[in-house]
Structure 1
Amino acid sequence: MPNTSSGSKSKVTMKDVAKHAGVSQSTVSFVLNNVADVSIGEETRKKVLAAVEELNYKRRPQGLYVPSPVVPTLGFIVDEVATSPFSAITIEGAQEAAWQHGHLLEVGMTGEDREYETALLNKWIAQGVVGVIYCSILTRSITPPEALGRVRSVLVNCHSDQVHYPAIVPSEVLGGFAATEALIERGYQRIAFIDGEMWMEAAKDRLAGYRNALTTHNIPIREALIKEGNFLPSGGYQQTLALLDQTPVPDAIFCGNDLTAVGCYEALKERGLRIPGDVAVMGYDDQEIAQHMNPGLTTVLLPHREMGQWAVEFLLSPGDTNTKRTVKLECPLVIRDSI
């Protein structure tokens, strides 16, 4: 079933249907859209339709009434797509929300080329775009292109310290706090933290949350238990081995992201240690791999889909979007068997 947060069920997506039916998202799409030139077995078709019914999946509205001969459009600028799964998730959330309101979403990947961004914005503005979402793959402070100020706009996964723009970002400090507190509440006291590279805003904020949780619960902060990794399995592996060479070894390791946890798992198993029997492991991001690790990785969900949806709702709301307002969206825990 889809993850839940704050006691309410998340919107069911095509990905959830595919997982429930044990098929690919492409298969689900072909079945739901009755694609004639793709041969899909009757049993598979039945499984997909049964999953749709069981999960109460709501397809994008069909046959929307559009009062104008031209469907209104929202623009979505993102610096990169291929280097991370999160950009695509944010775009999907924004596209679904836009279409539910009878709007199209046009996406432009710019690689932070300011000249390209300006040309794209000028094109959209000339065509009467309703609003523009400006998204960064990394949570960070940005200087938006000047042309963005000429249209109703919102920043996603980034913020501007110089120009007044509304923005939405993950609540990373609270996410790091919640992850660490979940370990403390389960009795772990010697909790290590393997972070990413410290120039990253997410790495600094998750570390701040870890430190705040230890201080709140009167647990000494041991600098020897804090390691800088690289948000990759290699960093998780190397830094876990370094932690295991200490005496005593940690009873829990909070990894700054799920890829770090992959390397952490490898190092722990190489040393013959059980997860969570000997050492508990916490991740962060809730990437697809987290649920397939053995044991399943407890982690923190980055709300990229929800940020995309929020941005569309914000742009289409009747309120004033010109005043600076940075919203920090909750990063809920996803509990599995690693703690």
Structure 2
Amino acid sequence: MARKRPATMADIAQVAGVSRTTVSFVLNDRTDVMIPAATRDRVQKVAAGLGYRRNAAARALATQSSGLLGLVTEIVTSPFAADVIRGAQQRAWEQERFLLIAPSEDEHAMDALAIEKLLEQRVEGILLAAAWHRAISVPDAAKDVPCVLVNCYDEKGEFPAVVPDEVTGGRRAAAALIDAGHERIGHITLTPGIPAQIGRLEGFRAELQESGLGLDDDLVCLGDATAESGYLAGRELLERADRPTAIFCGNDRIAMGLYDAAKDLGLSIPGDLSVVGFDDQEILAAYLRPKLTTVALPFAGMGAAGVSMLTSLTAGRPIQDARVLIDCPLRTRSSVGPVIP
């Protein structure tokens, strides 16, 4: 079966009984030309009936504006990818932009090839999104159009960035345990030196200090973001004679390992031990038993904020802050309870 020929402006003009120029003015929303409302309505109805689609490439050449934004990321297979893409895409739609997504193969430097492919599509700006909060190397090609970094930053500070407020997230974790009456609180960290580990511990320590409790460094154990490190550090903390009654875990996978350690030692959550995680990784936090109270990483919010910043830049409007912090809210579930004497 032969493929149906796409409808053209000439086809619409013939059916609607108007000139091709009139059709062009109507379909390109030219309000500076006097065309009767009835004529505009007739042209639009004929165009819809014929299944007319605008030629985006031709329109971009004519207007010097494609309406396209690019997203380069290595997180397309991560548990958080859908949230970043959903937030960015929704905000792009709201601002009458369309998002093109290109996967990156390089965890440490966003692929120059992916950026080049997006530039070939005449994108007006590019988002670079990382799976975990860190410094990245930005290819020179990204400087050809406005560029915003999401969940990452460049060490030279050349590009605006949207990142999670790790410090406030750490404070929220501490506050949840303090409010439940806990005074002896431990912490299993992420890999030392990364921004998330530094920020979360800083906020956690500051909240405990301001509450008058302080953080006992003997109750801080190093983890590496894995469930195995959560299990091993959990055993170390929970086998102490003066074990903590609550533990803040650097992420939800660490908390999963801690759950297993507590179970092996015959301790119940939250009866004997309260636990708070970080990330709100859906496949873990909502399905652990009991369900995990955790601090959420705002991936959708970061994606949306990145698009808003990029839209301002592509429109030639300056942005107020070169680095925007997005709030990390607490997700209260069932793993935190009061201290039992």
Q: TM-score if structure 2 supplies the norm length?
A: 0.74
CA displacement at 1:199 relative to structure 2: 3.2
Where 2:290 maps in the other structure, the secondary structure is coil
The CA deviation at 1:115 is 9.6
Q: State the partner residue of 1:278.
A: 272
Letter in 2 for 1:334: R
Structure with max Cα Rg: 2
Residue 168 (structure 1) aligned with residue 148 (structure 2):
no
* Aligned counterpart, 1:109: 103
Hey, what's the Cα distance between the residues in 2 that align with 1:113 and 1:245?
A: 38
Partner residue in 1 for 2:28: none
Counting only pairs closer than 5 Å after superposition, residues 168-207 of structure 1 correspond to structure 2 as: 168-207=162-201
CA distance in 2, matches of 1:262, 1:89: 22
1:293 equivalent in alignment to 2:288: yes
Shift in CA distance, 268/320, structure 1 to aligned 2, threshold 3 Å: same
Aligned-partner SS, 1:284: strand
2:92 match = 98
Q: Is contact 1:152–1:321 with CA below 8 Å preserved after alignment?
A: no
Q: Could you tell which deviates more after superposition, 199-208 or 280-289?
A: 199-208
CA distance in 2, matches of 1:114, 1:229: 22
Q: Distance in 1 between matches of 2:318 and 2:73?
A: 20
5 Å-filtered alignment, 1:194-233, equals 194-233=188-227
Once the 2 structures are TM-superposed, how far is the Cα of residue 66 of structure 1 from its aligned partner? Answer: 7.5
Deviation of residue 67 (structure 1)?
A: 10
Query: Matched residue of 1:128: which SS?
Result: coil
Structure 2: segments with no counterpart, 5+ residues: 1-50, 61-65, 337-341
Name the CA shift for 1:252/1:132 in 2 (closer, same or farther; >3 Å). same
- Partner residue in 1 for 2:324: 327
Where do 1:1-339 residues align within 5 Å? 69=59, 72-82=67-77, 84-112=78-106, 117-288=111-282, 289-317=284-312, 318=315, 320-321=317-318, 325-339=322-336
Q: Which moves more between the two structures, 211-220 or 182-191?
A: 211-220
Q: Offset of 1:200 from its aligned partner? A: 2.2
* CA drift at 1:99: 2.8
For residues 244-267 of structure 1, the C-alpha deviation after alignment (integer angstroms, 9 at most, x for no partner) is: 121211110111111111111111
Counterpart-to-counterpart distance in 1, 2:116 and 2:93: 23
Is the CA contact 1:166–1:321 (under 8 Å) kept in the aligned structure 2? Answer: no
Distance (whole Å) between structure 2 residues aligned to residue 168 and residue 214 of structure 1: 27
Who is 2:7 aligned against? none
- 1:180-205 Cα distance to aligned partner (Å, 9 max, x none): 11111211000000111113221121
Find the aligned partners of 2:298 and 2:92 in 1 and give their Cα distance.
Answer: 18
Structure 1: state its 5+ residue gaps: 1-62
Q: Distance in 1 between matches of 2:54 and 2:310?
A: 18
8 A contact 1:143–1:162 mirrored in 2: no
- Percent identity (aligned): 37
State the one-letter code of the partner of 2:329: P
Tell me what 2:32 maps to: none
Aligned-pair distance for 1:137?
1.4
CA shift, 1:114, in A, is: 9.2
- How much does 1:315 deviate? 1.5
* Distance across 2 between alignment mates of 1:115 and 1:278: 44
Contact kept? 1:80, 1:111, Cα under 8 Å: no
Query: Residue type of the partner of 2:232?
Result: Q
Work out whether residues 165 and 322 of structure 1, in 8 Å CA contact, stay in contact via their aligned partners in 2: no
Whole-Å Cα distance in 2 between the matches of residues 272 and 113 of structure 1? 40
Residue 5 of structure 1 corresponds to none
Q: Provide the rounded CA distance (Å) in 1 between the counterparts of 2:108 and 2:196.
A: 24
Contact 1:66 1:102 in 2 (8 A): no
Please give the per-residue CA displacement for 1:259-294, whole angstroms capped at 9, x wherever unaligned: 111111111122121211111010111111211211
Aligned positions, number:
275
- 1:158 counterpart letter in structure 2: C
Contact 2:84–2:303 under 8 Å retained in 1: yes
Question: Which residue identity lines up with residue 235 of structure 1 in the other structure?
Answer: S
Structure 1, 88-97 or 256-265: larger mean CA deviation: 88-97
Query: CA shift at 1:299, angstroms?
Result: 0.4
- Per-residue deviation at 1:126? 4.3
In 1, Cα distance between equivalents of 2:254 and 2:116? 41
Matched letter for residue 310 of structure 1: A
CA contact (8 A) 2:162 2:324 kept: yes
Q: Distance in 2 between matches of 1:80 and 1:233?
A: 20
